[in-house]
A and B are shown apart, each in its own frame.
Chain A
Amino acid sequence: MHIQLGGIDYAILLIYFAFVLSIGWVLKRYMKGSTDFFLSGRSIPAWVTGLAFLSANLGAQEVIGMAASGAKYGIMTSHFYWVGAIPAMVFLAIFMMPFYYGSRARSVPEYLKLRFDEKTRGFNAISFAVMTVFSSGISMHALAKLMETLLGWNYNGCIAVSAFIVLAYIFLGGLTSAIYNEVLQFFMIVLGFAPLVFLALKDVGGWAGLQQKLIPVAEGQHFAAGTWSDSWKHMNSALDNPMGVGWFGMVMGLGFVLSFGYWCTDFLVIQRAMAANSMSAARRTPLIAAIPKMLFPALVILPGMIAIALHSSGGNSFLPLGKDGTPDYNLTIPTMLVKYFPTGLLGIGFTALMASFMSGMAGNVTAFNTVWTYDIYQSYIAPKKSDTHYLWMGRMATVFGIGLSIGAAYLASAFNNIMDMLQLVFGFVNAPLFATFLLGMFWRRATGHGAFFGLLGGTAGAAIFHGLAISEGAHAGIKGGWLGRHLIFHSEMGQNFWMAIVAWTSCFILTIIISVATKRKKTDEELKGLVYALTPKQKTESEPWYMQPVTIGILVLVATLLLNLIFW
């Protein structure tokens, strides 16, 4: 597939870059101390942090990946939103944000130090820092690879330009710059992809027409007729749907463990809420994000579903084919853009895609420079320096964080297996995290030793489970099964969901057992503001009832439930 962009398309792209850089430039003069640089001086209004919260997660993996899943699995992909993300975001807003924001911790690892101890923080900080560098490298690699394939651009040039732009605006304006650009990118994605959905849906004859056209897709793969357009009807058994997961594994593994683990503990997104200008703004941040998030399946999954319908009704020639003769799902979005957008609008669509890659990188870089400076540098390498020194360190961390990301990008392009391996290891480390936070926030008896060894145990549990389990037809090794093929799953996704369940459960149980067996080191006084039972009830300031987090949270949940029922 090769695309020709016109002059107006390039002009749009360049104007976008100019805006991105000038936002960094304008913000430079506000960066006076480290809190300004790492936490935006806790001064950002809720609508901005909310959209940035959503956008930080809206990297390329999300846009490209969700459309790919929409083509591959159909509307069941919406479970990532309507079962996964939304309930977790509401939980974060109502129950967890008071502790993150209220404790005045400057990062998620720092919360772990305040609540538990130094080693738990160290473990989380180091694994998180390494992970962010690799994620941003992977994003950069994916962008350069895509532009090379589609536009024939030079791979090295793409890496250099994207790294330079992200470096420049974060170096100048820190987290604020990243957040502002994320909001800009949010509008780019929404306004850039909305006409795509409009045109494509009109082309296939609306939702009813699409449902009709998806029947042959499902039947061609020997599933029931409505499998691609019903989100819940075919989840009784893992054999009934292309994802290869049953409802229990999906609800517990994806909905509970993985989604709560990501949305409620990942500093990349939580940092956005921590930058909010008040407690109530911090609590409203995930809720403001949840409202557009709820509708995002229409923007990112629906184009994938339409693409596969066109592919199947057009003699399997719409999507480019991979080496094994199946469609190359990762090219779903670019294919759709080229099909429906004439030059002009194509520039907007492409810029939106580029923007999502770059904000994925920027989100990781700002999370990295904060955790590096506060949780690693200030804690272990150079404590008690002046604030100006840490501000300087934050800028340096931005530079070498991006340097390391470039290294990771080239590593990814040279050794694909290393990346898969690393992502697997991060999966082991992340899966149990939510158990630690849940116990930490809601059970005052949980101790530092309990948390630390519980986390290690959960990570080990994930690794052992991975060694014993494998999906049908996969080779033992990176896909699992290196300790023997004891548990066979219908799909890799099913295997992952269950791995998460095992990791979470082992961490939860181990933390409880070890906590009971060890002595509490923190007094009730020290845990004030960190644990639910020891924190005075939030006075929800002087807001009207319809602005209260609980009210908005309930409304969001009801709306999500309705969406599940409509597309049942």
Chain B
Amino acid sequence: MNFDLRLPIGLMFSLFGAMLAIFGAATANKEMYEKHSLGININLGWGLVLLAFGLFMLLMTWRASRKHGKRP
């Protein structure tokens, strides 16, 4: 199997992370964070965590593909 599963995982979580982080930044200081997440802007915070995870997966995919060379 020449299909590296880390690629879709990386893409999906980078996308989710970016979406959450941007949404979090845009909605900073909104009362919904007081109501739900103890005043923490969890969208921004967790969005960055997801983005970091996604990018790490993409990095691993890239490294693996370089190591094995381009495959059809």
> Which residues in A have some Cβ–Cβ distance to B below 8 Å?
8, 11-12, 15-16, 19, 22-23, 26-27, 30, 40-41, 43-44, 48, 176, 180, 183-184, 187, 191, 195, 199, 202-203, 339-345, 348
Chain B residues with Cβ below 8 Å from A176 are 1
Chain B residues with Cβ below 8 Å from A345 are 20, 37, 42-43, 46
Minimum CB–CB distance from B8 to chain A (whole Å) comes to 6
Type the 1/0 row for B1-34, where 1 means its CB is closer than 8 Å to any CB of A: 1010100110111011001100110010010110
A342 touches B42 (CB 8 A): yes
B38 touches A184 (CB 8 A): no
A341 touches B42 (CB 8 A): yes
Minimum CB–CB distance from A347 to chain B (whole Å) comes to 8
Minimum CB–CB distance from B58 to chain A (whole Å) comes to 14
Chain A residues with Cβ below 8 Å from B9 are 183-184, 187
- Known A23-B8, A344-B24; 17 more pairs at CB < 8 Å: A15-B15, A19-B8, A22-B8, A41-B1, A180-B8, A184-B8, A184-B9, A187-B9, A187-B53, A191-B13, A202-B38, A340-B36, A343-B32, A344-B47, A345-B42, A345-B46, A348-B46
Give complex CA distance A215, B19 in Å. 41
Chain B residues with Cβ below 8 Å from A183 are 5, 9
Q: Name the residue of chain A whose CB is nearest to the CB of B36.
A: A342
Give complex CA distance A48, B32 in Å. 38
B37 touches A340 (CB 8 A): yes
Listed residue (B9, B16, B27) with the most chain A CB atoms within 10 angstroms of its CB: B16
B1 touches A199 (CB 8 A): no
Chain A residues with Cβ below 8 Å from B8 are 19, 22-23, 180, 184
B1 touches A30 (CB 8 A): yes
Known: A22-B8, A27-B3, A348-B20. A339 touches B36 (CB 8 A): yes
Give complex CA distance A40, B13 in Å. 25
From residue 20 to 72 of chain B, which have CB atoms closer than 8 A to chain A? Answer: 20, 23-24, 27, 30, 32-33, 35-38, 40, 42-43, 46-47, 49-50, 53
Minimum CB–CB distance from A186 to chain B (whole Å) comes to 10
Chain A residues with Cβ below 8 Å from B40 are 199
Name the one of A12, A27, A199, A203 contacting B16, with C-beta atoms under 8 angstroms.
Answer: A12
A15 touches B43 (CB 8 A): no
Q: Name the residue of chain B whose CB is nearest to the CB of A200.
A: B38
B12 touches A199 (CB 8 A): no
Give complex CA distance A348, B50 in Å. 11
Minimum CB–CB distance from A341 to chain B (whole Å) comes to 6
Known: A19-B8, A183-B9, A348-B20. A30 touches B3 (CB 8 A): yes
Ranked nearest first, the 6 interchain pairs of A and B with the lowest CB-CB distance are A344-B43, A342-B32, A342-B36, A195-B46, A344-B23, A43-B1
Q: Name the residue of chain A whose CB is nearest to the CB of B43.
A: A344
A341 touches B24 (CB 8 A): no
B12 touches A342 (CB 8 A): no
B3 touches A26 (CB 8 A): yes
Chain B residues with Cβ below 8 Å from A348 are 16, 20, 46, 50
Name the one of A23, A30, A44, A341 contacting B36, with C-beta atoms under 8 angstroms.
Answer: A341
Q: Name the residue of chain B whose CB is nearest to the CB of A343.
A: B32
Give complex CA distance A348, B16 in Å. 8
Q: Could you write out 11 A-B pairs with CB less than 8 Å apart?
A: A16-B12, A19-B12, A26-B3, A183-B9, A187-B13, A191-B50, A191-B53, A203-B38, A340-B36, A344-B24, A344-B43
Chain B residues with Cβ below 8 Å from A40 are 1
Q: Name the residue of chain B whose CB is nearest to the CB of A52.
A: B5
A341 touches B1 (CB 8 A): no
Listed residue (A12, A16, A191) with the most chain B CB atoms within 10 angstroms of its CB: A191
Minimum CB–CB distance from B41 to chain A (whole Å) comes to 9
Q: Name the residue of chain B whose CB is nearest to the CB of A202.
A: B38
